Amino acid sequence: MTTLLYTHPICIEHDPGRGHPECPDRLRAVMQGFEDDDFKALDRHEAPVADLKEIEQVHEPYYIERIFENMPKEGRVYLDPDTGISPASGEASRRAAGAVCDAVDLVIKGKGKNAFCAVRPPGHHAESSRAMGFCLFNSVAVGALHGRARHGLDRVAVVDFDVHHGNGTQHMFEHDEGLFYASSHQWPAYPGTGLASETGEFNNIRNLQMAPGEGTAAFREGYREKILPALRAFDPDLLLISAGFDAHDRDPLAQISLQTEDYAWVTGELLAVAGECCDGKVVSLLEGGYNLQALTESVQTHVRVLMAD
């Protein structure tokens, strides 16, 4: 069994606007990175379109309708000051969520040992009825709920190492004892949620706040002492990773100083817990990461560790 890779060309066409950091070149750079010989063994899949019923498990139907009604035929529409959509954005966001659902299906059925979804737009800021922070649909949450509905999983965990707090995912999870969400992120920073004191109705949320300028030491200590033990105690049947790479030292949107090797480390640690709890069943998806070279290197590093598991 090998690692599955999901993507689709329409995810490159989603265009939030000239000069926008969440640009099509991000995914071009990521996919270029997978042309190296190291990645020949990946089992490559086209990201399918998510059924709207799957998306309705975490988003209000009126919100989903409004997104598609607002989809421009040409040019761009802004859903919030940061979140522009172009004609390709509807299909791209349905395929981003669809990739995660299909990856969950194959990993649960044992047809792949784990998976990486190279998709955009990202999703972790999307709330049940609000687009924000470059995100339309919360793909990781759609995948988690799909895992429960389709496969009868009791406990699904999401770990999010994007430098921004996944407010949308936390809000969708915090009142549900079968779901766990842990995030490491810069504080203070966008979107202004994710205090360590936010622990969820069922003690099922963990937030690791990192101060601007902190890097490897604080990140690893936070995972070792806080996130990994809580994840192990939750004992998930499936682990999803919101893999944003904007905590990298070279990233222009935040001030955390992770090195590329830190992504190998955290991926290895998460796989070790998944190995103990759920036979290594892990599905990871791309969230942020805005320095193209650092993004490519970090994704390569992350996926090499997934492949070596």
Contact 156, 238 (CB under 8 A): yes
Residue 102 vs 162, nearer CB to Zn ion: 162
Smallest separation, CB 162 to Zn ion (Å) = 4
Cα–Cα distances in Å, from 153 out to 118, 147, 303? 24, 6, 25
Bond from prior residue into 21 cis (ω within 30 degrees of 0): no
Site residues (CB under 5 A) for Zn ion, limited to 221-260: 244, 246
Residue 104 vs 135, nearer CB to Zn ion: 135
Catalytic residue list contains 248? no
105 part of the interface to Zn ion, by CB under 5 A? no
Residue 200 vs 244, nearer CB to Zn ion: 244
Alpha helices in 197-259 (DSSP H): 216-222, 228-234
Smallest separation, CB 179 to Zn ion (Å) = 21
Q: Which residues pair with 78 in a beta bridge?
A: 84
Residue 125 vs 148, nearer CB to Zn ion: 125
User: Which among 186, 168, 180, 166 has a CA at the least distance from the CA of 253?
Assistant: 186
How far apart CA 82 and CA 268 sit, in angstroms, is: 33
Site residues (CB under 5 A) for Zn ion, limited to 254-283: none
Give the residue carrying structure tokens 């969440």: 22
Catalytic residue among 125, 146, 164, 171: 125
Sign (positive/negative) of CA torsion 79, 83, 86, 88?
Answer: negative
Smallest separation, CB 184 to Zn ion (Å) = 11
Smallest separation, CB 6 to Zn ion (Å) = 20
DSSP classification of residue 258:
B
Smallest separation, CB 109 to Zn ion (Å) = 31
Number of residues in contact with Zn ion, rule: CB under 5 A? Answer: 5
Q: Is 271 exposed, middle or buried (0-12, 13-18, 19+ CB in 10 A)?
A: buried
Which residues, at least 6 apart from 27, have a Cβ–Cβ distance to it below 8 Å? Answer: 7, 11, 12, 118, 119, 120, 286
Site residues (CB under 5 A) for Zn ion, limited to 141-180: 162, 164
Residue 15 vs 162, nearer CB to Zn ion: 162
Shortest-Cβ-distance residue relative to Zn ion: 288
Residue 58 vs 253, nearer CB to Zn ion: 253
289 part of the interface to Zn ion, by CB under 5 A? no
Q: Among 288, 297, 301, 306, which residue interacts with Zn ion (rule: CB under 5 A)?
A: 288
Three-state DSSP class for 283?
strand
Smallest separation, CB 65 to Zn ion (Å) = 27
Positions marked active-site: 125
The residues of the shown chain that bind Zn ion, judged by CB under 5 A, are 162, 164, 244, 246, 288
